[in-house]
Amino acid sequence: MKFAVIVFPGSNCDIDMFHAIQDELGEEVEYVPHTADSLEGFDAILLPGGFSYGDYLRTGAIARFSSVMAEVVKAADSGVPILGVCNGFQILLEAGLLPGAMRKNRDLAFICKQTQLKVENNTTTFTTGYENGETITLPIAHGEGNYYCDEETFLRLKENNQIAFTYHMNNPNGSLENIAGIVNENGNVLGMMPHPERAVDKLLGSEDGLKLFQSIVRNWRESYVVTA
């Protein structure tokens, strides 16, 4: 399986993502610049965290106009698995690939710590490696991770089982209904604020994030066998 790690000006988690895929997952991976006009040949697309374009205007607002994002949208529409982490989640929101918006953290402070999450939906491309309701530990590092959407959108998220992860026991940023990660209606696009790529080895304090990447590979291979 071949992964693309999209690199925007200001990305700072692209190396972490690359390491998680190549060294821990054992799959093929390449960096793809924001100027790319094709994502042909990639089986999954990863949008890493950081401060794309310095977070000017608002997080992800400029990155969504990068040349590569037109290709990301096309890939999403064709069913390619797409994961956006932290700033990557913010970019997916700005691009309209996921509903809602991101606001500054409740306490208006940058937060960097380990956080417990609850797996709310283990039937997505990204979560089949977890038990439903399982509690996992992933780190967060963000200043604008306070997810918000209107009531109609929230009810639709609930009805379609699009909430993949929630913060467990403690909501660090004020996110609506403790939401930490959501998928699109087709289930092939996931945006989440916690960093699974920073939790792929015990030396990092947790290896709970590795199951997410393993889920992507397992589901892709099963789909490939069925369609081949």
The enclosing domain of 16 has a CATH number of 3.40.50.880
- The residue among 136, 131, 132 whose CA lies nearest residue 114 is 136
Residue 194: predicted pLDDT:
98
The predicted model scores a pTM of 0.96
Which residue range is the domain that position 203 belongs to?
2-227
What phi and psi values does residue 219 have, to the nearest 5 degrees?
-70, -35
- Give the tens place of pLDDT for each residue, 100-115: 999 999 999 999 999 9
Active-site residue, 197 included? yes
Q: How far apart are CA 138 and CA 205, in angstroms?
A: 9
Active-site residue, 195 included? yes
**DSSP β-bridge partners for residue 5:** 31, 46
Active-site residue, 159 included? no
Q: Walk across the sheet containing 179-183 and list its strands.
A: 28-33, 2-7, 44-47, 82-85, 189-192, 179-183, 163-167, 111-119, 135-142
pLDDT average, residue stretch 57-76:
96
- Give the tens place of pLDDT for each residue, 175-220: 999 999 999 999 999 999 999 999 999 999 999 999 999 999 999 9
Q: Where does the pLDDT of residue 227 fall: very low under 50, low under 70, confident under 90, or very high at 90 and above?
A: low
Q: Choosing from 27, 94, 120, 197, which is the catalytic residue?
A: 197
Q: Choosing from 34, 71, 86, 120, which is the catalytic residue?
A: 86
Q: What is the mean pLDDT of the chain?
A: 96
Please give the tally of structural domains in the chain.
1
Q: Choosing from 34, 142, 168, 195, which is the catalytic residue?
A: 195
